[in-house]
Structure 1
Amino acid sequence: MATGGYGNTPKVGSIDTVDVVRATDEQLGQYGKADEKISQLEVPQLYDSADPHARIFVAMFDGTGNSLANDPDNPTNIGILKEQLRRVSEENPSIQGQYLEGPGTQKNPLTRTLDGATGYTYEARMEKMYEAFQKQSAKWLKEDPNAKISLMSTGFSRGAEQAAGFSRMVHERGITASIEMDTTIPKEGSISRALGAVHKGLGKDSGLPEPEAKPPLRAPGSIPQSVVLYDPVGTGMPNLHDRHLPPSVVTGMQINAADEKRSAFPVTNNIEQGVSDDGRFLAVTVPGAHSDVGGGYKLKALSDRAFNLATNFYNKVLGHDAIRKVDISTDPDHSVIHDSTQHKIIYKKVEERGVINLPTREAVDPVLREQYPIKGKSDVTPAPQTGPAQDKPETRSAQEGVPVRPDPAAISRGTADRAPEPAQVKSEAPREATNRAAEPAPAKSEPAREATNRAAEPATAKPEPQRETANRAPEPAPVKSEPPREATNRAAEPAPAKPEPPRDATNRAAEPAPAKPEPQREAANRAPEPAPVKSEPPREATNRAAEPAPAKPEPPRDAVASAVPAPATDGKAEFAKAIKAAGLELKEPPIMDGTLQRVPVAGRAPDNRDGAYAGHLDGKPHGHITNFATGVQQNWSMNGVPLSDKEQGRLTAHGENARQQRGAELSEQYNKVSTRTAEKLARLPDTPPAQGNAYLERKQIDAHGVKFDGDKIVVPVRDIDGKVWSAQSIRPGEDEGKTFEKGGRRSGNMHVIGDIKPGADVLVSEGYATGASLHQATGKPVVVAFDARNLDAVVDSVKSRHPTNPVHIMADNDKHSQQNVGVEKATAAAAKHQVGIAFPESKTPGKVSDFNDLHVREGLPAVKEQVDKAVARSVEQSLERATSVARSQHGEGVEVKTPTPDSKHTGPVTAVSGYHAVQAVSEKAVVVHQLRDLPSVPVPNKPVTIEYQQGRAQVTERAPDKPAQPQR
């Protein structure tokens, strides 16, 4: 454990469910030193924004159990990058990317557990990423045959290992023509199907079809690449694949966690610690546990620092500051190191399995290594060695900039320093072999041998057929064993091999000794082996009947066993435990007659019925559970026993029935609240009491369409059509909070200040006070969304009703909070809907989180100035994007024009981007129109005439030209 680890400083809390310790000033200073090293790197620039042919694809692989969709409020650093890249790609189509959630994020609890333990979807996820990269590259090359495509791969934990493996995949394949391949990542299904995927992934065959051989669009090894790896961990499936960085990776960075328990998560040194000789590669170790580097905790000041380190590197590769640094909390209680060993029992399990680090710090799982060989061979030749493998550090080839390592498989077997041994004649105990042909009768086996640093065996040793070779050709079926027979009755047979003597690891010569039995080994996915040459004493034929059938196959002896609990006997009791674990309350044993039962959810009003379940006792006990309060739905079966198709279909029907029933209940509930709220608003006055309203006075705003209920203001919550669905009550005190009508509908609903006229700018804010300040400062209509998480739905509603109006999100910047939800949600909504976004900027010290804070601190003129600049900037950026799209469609030499007040233009609209539409008026000219000047959004690829009169346009469809009629 590095200095400053657990126990060296006082615990400061456990908001993330584990103990934490505050990082010391000395530890935090290591980030500054790492930043200095990054600034000194000679990073090749893989993308040049000034080059019209430049393109770059960013491949993002999240870590085990991490999913931005499943946990959007606690993203890892890969999730944060994904959200930022969405903004970047909208602004610049030449920068695109793909995000993949991490292993162990499936909905099915069994496959989720299995994937989390073994990472069996390693190959499928890389294939899925390659498919996305291939499609995007093909699109770029279609637009520009001279496109210069580069690749940046980044990941966290096992996702970092996928990033490294993906770089090798692209190096070996290049960019191929379109191929058809099943890249589905298993999400649902029985444990048997999941085990099948593990068997395919760990054995010789990954289970994925080989790509069809087609001429490459870009040759293998021709794509310049870079990598950024957050604390890469290869435990499980990744360790059985080659993740050495290939020569086409010309630069890279790795950030390791100094305070992680490495028995559970051994780091892989894809990049050697320090700065490489050529100055292009860097690996640093910084304070923190695994997720303190990769992100995902609530107390995330350390992972934010790690993200900013990576951001410096990202932007060096991109040639400009495309990725924004995140704000780091100044609260020392947020800069903490987490005790990750308190998370799960996986630490204990991994230690029991004997997972170790090689001298390269690469993780080795002996259970998996014993059963399955390493898959694939590196094209990197190990450096010559004269001493023990563990004394040879990794070096970097000056010509290729590639790590050169001893073969990890050889190190794990202790054979890295010796020449290949001749194959030995085996004599071994019977083994279980699920997927191989019938084996001969068991021969007496040799004892286990140590092989570390052993010299080549003397010539007296008989050759033994090599086993578990990843890519060997099919072998003949083994010869069945049989009792001794007279030579006159059988064909000539080779003489039996002599029994091998016991040998140790100290280079001593062979000594004759009887062979001892070898313990049984599992070989579930091993390819067929030839019949071993047996050495056995004569046995009486009367005592040797026909050999018994091979033992039944068993699954691998890894985390699969822990994924399936021991059998239970009481189906109702087990189902009740699952129901309660899902947050539902039960006052009596569950009813398991197949009917849908509604029950309360714990922690809510006593009369709530926000939970549902349906159970069956026939066949295998199984059921469906839904928690409407959290949105979680799950299927359950006794002891994790896989369900039949009929049972699975029945649970699917239960889930659909529950959703429909819940939908009907919510519809009825929303309508009741709507009626009640509308009646309440009709009774309330439109003006405040004579003494005024403290909230309006404190916020320095006026009443805009609100009601008053004593000292509270009441803001109606309406849909885009003006129907009331709920109301927000705001008390005067700063800390008294805001409440909504219980049970009312809020999603997609809003409060509008001012009139939305055709073509007018529409501002969208979170809160009422912010909206009022924006309207009073600019006179523009403002739509209040009430909550950052509602911005997406509200912008969608506004654009659906007013598709030509420019929409601009005036976001809150909660930079003083632990998590900046305002920025995250506003950025995501702006990127999704191609609308503008702005944040308040204050010239004076103090907390300014929204435009009302700016109003109160600096006045309405400051608000107007910032809004006007933001709106103009958004329109300008939209015009630039539309121009770029026009040139990519029609060529760099196309003339790009804008309309005049009384002009007329005819031709097809070829693209709609942001606030603009591109119309091709000739082969060499396009006109870029502002949507705000049009009565509707033109349909792409339809010929139209757009005619302006005093700045406003009319759009008419132009009939296709009729062919000329021949004259008679």
Structure 2
Amino acid sequence: MEKPDQGKASDSEYRVYLNVPYSEREAAKEAGASFDFGKKSWYVSLHQAELDNITERWAEWDPDFARYQKTVQEKTPKNYLYVPYTEKDLALAAGAKFDFNAKSWFAPEGANMEKLESWLTAREPVPTVAMNPVDEFAKALRAAGLDLQGAAPAMDGKIHRVPLIDSKPGHLDGAYSGHLDGVPNGWSQNYQTGEKTKWKATGHTLTEEQKAALTREAEVRRIEREKERLKRQDEVAKFCRESFENRLDAVGDHPYLVKKGIPPVGIKESLSGDVLLVPLYNAEGELRNVQEISSDGTKLFQAGGQKKGCFNLVDPGKCHDQGEILLAEGYATGVSLNVATGKPVAVAFDAGNLEGVAIALRDKFPEAKIVICADHDHTKEHNIGVEKAKQAAEKVGGCVIVPVFNKEELSAGRTDFNDLAQSRGLEEVGRQLSRGLSQEKCRGVER
């Protein structure tokens, strides 16, 4: 508990910081708490008079109330009860309340003591077994809002990115790291709120034999998950192949194609005609997934299907080892580049897949010049499009060309070569590609 900074609250008002678990943040907000982004903590502002009427709801979330409540409790001693965890709901129904500072149930003033009589005396304690540290860490990660999607946390000391419980599909806004050395410990990070939590196992230090056993168990689980993942990918690929073969070729009046100013190349449409179907192939030419593009531009992949290393090849007939193969993120960008240059274009679908696709292309076309046409993500804190493009180019001995925009175009949020085509025409796209290919960094990667 601390007095607020001058100007942020009145002199008679106290800002009390709360210890709110991630999973209870909405409840805290509804109860009137606010979030301090500077201290990365929830708090409630109370006047001096209100401090004498502290609700148990605030006490539940406030580690700093202990000293104040202790003085209050000394004046009115509480009649504590001995309630096993499995009987907490029965005790609550009988009128008992929980003291979050003493971590014990008690009989409030005026309670019917006959209903609470069975919990007035202590029972013989039952020995408990310390929780497996992997399970304990998994529980802590869930409490912090991280979604492990049914898997056990990897205790290898590495940083693992995972989604949050309420994050959008494909967003990895959480991270954790844990290891079993000494006393098992780790940490978790919620990138939406900025909250970082440290964890240490409450059980005993593990012996080398115990650590080895847990490591073996984790490896068995990992292998089983990998088998299930590959099996699911094959099932999705079979479904996509059968569905795609029975659909009609897309027509050029689809709202998305009209908005992007591109023709349909190698794609089909749904039975209703309102969804475009863009196939993803692996390096062997097997259809492995399908991207669905709605009229409003919403893009979805088939859940559980393979995407890493898969791509759509615009104008595949021109792919050979003697020329350039362009590599871009999105389908619209890929078609714009193909129409503007006449060169084959591989579509990776996002920046994170550029490296995997570049490696697949290099394996299939070892003598080709791979040119990555990056998205210029200048509106983001990190220009992920350019960063990932450079990483991919370094892996395969390729080069990177980034679209050049003027101030007006940058202000309008334009980022890729399709944006450039819409702003200044396909001729400008062709000119920038020719200029980029003539530079030494691209000439030097010819094989």
TM-score bracket for this pair, using the shorter chain length: 0.5 to 0.7
Contact 1:840-1:851 at 8 Å conserved across structures: yes
Compute the displacement of 1:833 (Å). Answer: 2.8
With the length of structure 2 as denominator, give the TM-score of the two structures.
Answer: 0.59
Spell out, residue by residue over 1:502-527, the C-alpha distance to the aligned partner (whole angstroms, 9 max, x if none): xxxxxxxxxxxxxxxxxxxxxxxxxx
Residue 698 (str. 1) matches residue 254 (str. 2): no
Using the alignment, how far apart are the partners of 1:718 and 1:811 within structure 2?
A: 21
Contact 2:291-2:299 at 8 Å conserved across structures: yes
* Matched residue SS, 2:408: coil
Q: How does 1:455-466 map to 2 (within 5 A)?
A: none
Spell out, residue by residue over 1:869-915, the C-alpha distance to the aligned partner (whole angstroms, 9 max, x if none): 1112155662xxxxxxxxxxxxxxxxxxxxxxxxxxxxxxxxxxx43
Residue of 314, 318, 323 corresponding to 1:760? 323
Using the alignment, how far apart are the partners of 2:420 and 2:360 within structure 1?
A: 28
Compute the displacement of 1:855 (Å). Answer: 0.3
> What residue in structure 2 maps to residue 475 of structure 1?
none
> What residue in structure 1 maps to residue 214 of structure 2?
651
Spell out, residue by residue over 1:399-454, the C-alpha distance to the aligned partner (whole angstroms, 9 max, x if none): xxxxxxxxxxxxxxxxxxxxxxxxxxxxxxxxxxxxxxxxxxxxxxxxxxxxxxxx
CA 1:633/1:574 → structure 2, altered by over 3 Å: closer, same or farther?
closer
Contact 2:240-2:287 at 8 Å conserved across structures: yes
Residue of 130, 133, 139 corresponding to 1:580? 139
Using the alignment, how far apart are the partners of 1:612 and 1:783 within structure 2?
A: 36
CA 1:807/1:667 → structure 2, altered by over 3 Å: closer, same or farther?
same
Paired letter, 2:431: E
Q: How does 1:165-204 map to 2 (within 5 A)?
A: none
> What residue in structure 2 maps to residue 837 of structure 1?
400
* Matched residue SS, 1:684: coil
Q: How does 1:130-141 map to 2 (within 5 A)?
A: none
> What residue in structure 1 maps to residue 83 of structure 2?
none
Using the alignment, how far apart are the partners of 2:153 and 2:401 within structure 1?
A: 46
Q: How does 1:355-754 map to 2 (within 5 A)?
A: 570-572=129-131, 577-583=136-142, 610-612=150-152, 634=178, 639=202, 641-688=204-251, 692-709=253-270, 710-733=273-296, 736-754=297-315
* Matched residue SS, 1:726: strand
Contact 1:788-1:825 at 8 Å conserved across structures: yes
Using the alignment, how far apart are the partners of 1:747 and 1:687 within structure 2?
A: 25
Paired letter, 1:694: P
Using the alignment, how far apart are the partners of 2:384 and 2:442 within structure 1?
A: 27
Paired letter, 1:791: L
* Matched residue SS, 1:783: strand
Spell out, residue by residue over 1:505-555, the C-alpha distance to the aligned partner (whole angstroms, 9 max, x if none): xxxxxxxxxxxxxxxxxxxxxxxxxxxxxxxxxxxxxxxxxxxxxxxxxxx
Compute the displacement of 1:810 (Å). Answer: 0.3
Aligned length: 294
Residue 824 (str. 1) matches residue 387 (str. 2): yes
CA 1:818/1:876 → structure 2, altered by over 3 Å: closer, same or farther?
closer
Spell out, residue by residue over 1:778-829, the C-alpha distance to the aligned partner (whole angstroms, 9 max, x if none): 0000000000011111111111111110001100011123442212211222
Contact 2:399-2:442 at 8 Å conserved across structures: no
Using the alignment, how far apart are the partners of 1:779 and 1:580 within structure 2?
A: 54
Contact 2:329-2:351 at 8 Å conserved across structures: yes
Q: Spell out structure 1 runs of 4+ moving beyond 4 A.
A: 6-10, 340-343, 573-577, 601-604, 626-638, 874-877
Compute the displacement of 1:716 (Å). Answer: 0.3
Q: How does 1:849-888 map to 2 (within 5 A)?
A: 849-874=415-440, 878=444
> What residue in structure 2 maps to residue 797 of structure 1?
360
Paired letter, 1:698: K
Spell out, residue by residue over 1:180-238, the C-alpha distance to the aligned partner (whole angstroms, 9 max, x if none): xxxxxxxxxxxxxxxxxxxxxxxxxxxxxxxxxxxxxxxxxxxxxxxxxxxxxxxxxxx
* Matched residue SS, 1:791: helix
Using the alignment, how far apart are the partners of 2:387 and 2:419 within structure 1?
A: 19
Contact 1:610-1:627 at 8 Å conserved across structures: no
Contact 2:325-2:345 at 8 Å conserved across structures: yes
Using the alignment, how far apart are the partners of 1:851 and 1:7 within structure 2?
A: 51
> What residue in structure 2 maps to residue 141 of structure 1?
none
CA 1:613/1:811 → structure 2, altered by over 3 Å: closer, same or farther?
closer
CA 1:706/1:8 → structure 2, altered by over 3 Å: closer, same or farther?
farther
Spell out, residue by residue over 1:594-634, the C-alpha distance to the aligned partner (whole angstroms, 9 max, x if none): xxxxxxx9769xxxx632489xxxxxxxxxxx998779675
5+ residue gaps, structure 1, are 1-5, 11-17, 19-336, 344-567, 586-600, 615-625, 879-913, 916-930, 932-968
Contact 2:257-2:264 at 8 Å conserved across structures: yes
Paired letter, 2:281: R
CA 1:8/1:873 → structure 2, altered by over 3 Å: closer, same or farther?
farther
Contact 1:584-1:611 at 8 Å conserved across structures: no
* Matched residue SS, 2:283: coil
Residue of 328, 332, 339 corresponding to 2:38? 339
Contact 2:277-2:290 at 8 Å conserved across structures: yes
Q: How does 1:894-909 map to 2 (within 5 A)?
A: none
Using the alignment, how far apart are the partners of 1:874 and 1:737 within structure 2?
A: 39
Contact 1:764-1:785 at 8 Å conserved across structures: yes
Residue of 771, 786, 795 corresponding to 2:334? 771
CA 1:784/1:7 → structure 2, altered by over 3 Å: closer, same or farther?
farther
Using the alignment, how far apart are the partners of 1:701 and 1:664 within structure 2?
A: 40
Using the alignment, how far apart are the partners of 2:266 and 2:333 within structure 1?
A: 15
CA 1:865/1:745 → structure 2, altered by over 3 Å: closer, same or farther?
same
CA 1:841/1:675 → structure 2, altered by over 3 Å: closer, same or farther?
same
Compute the displacement of 1:766 (Å). Answer: 0.3
Contact 1:611-1:628 at 8 Å conserved across structures: no
Using the alignment, how far apart are the partners of 1:717 and 1:647 within structure 2?
A: 44
Paired letter, 2:150: D
With the length of structure 1 as denominator, give the TM-score of the two structures.
Answer: 0.28
Paired letter, 1:339: G
Compute the displacement of 1:687 (Å). Answer: 3.2
Residue 813 (str. 1) matches residue 376 (str. 2): yes
Compute the displacement of 1:705 (Å). Answer: 0.6
> What residue in structure 2 maps to residue 223 of structure 1?
none
* Matched residue SS, 1:676: helix
> What residue in structure 2 maps to residue 505 of structure 1?
none
Using the alignment, how far apart are the partners of 1:570 and 1:747 within structure 2?
A: 42
> What residue in structure 1 maps to residue 64 of structure 2?
none
Using the alignment, how far apart are the partners of 1:875 and 1:627 within structure 2?
A: 34
Compute the displacement of 1:577 (Å). Answer: 4.3
Using the alignment, how far apart are the partners of 1:666 and 1:801 within structure 2?
A: 25
Compute the displacement of 1:635 (Å). Answer: 5.4
Using the alignment, how far apart are the partners of 2:215 and 2:229 within structure 1?
A: 21
CA 1:746/1:8 → structure 2, altered by over 3 Å: closer, same or farther?
farther
CA 1:876/1:612 → structure 2, altered by over 3 Å: closer, same or farther?
closer
Paired letter, 1:741: Q
Using the alignment, how far apart are the partners of 2:275 and 2:249 within structure 1?
A: 12
> What residue in structure 1 maps to residue 346 of structure 2?
783
Compute the displacement of 1:641 (Å). Answer: 3.4
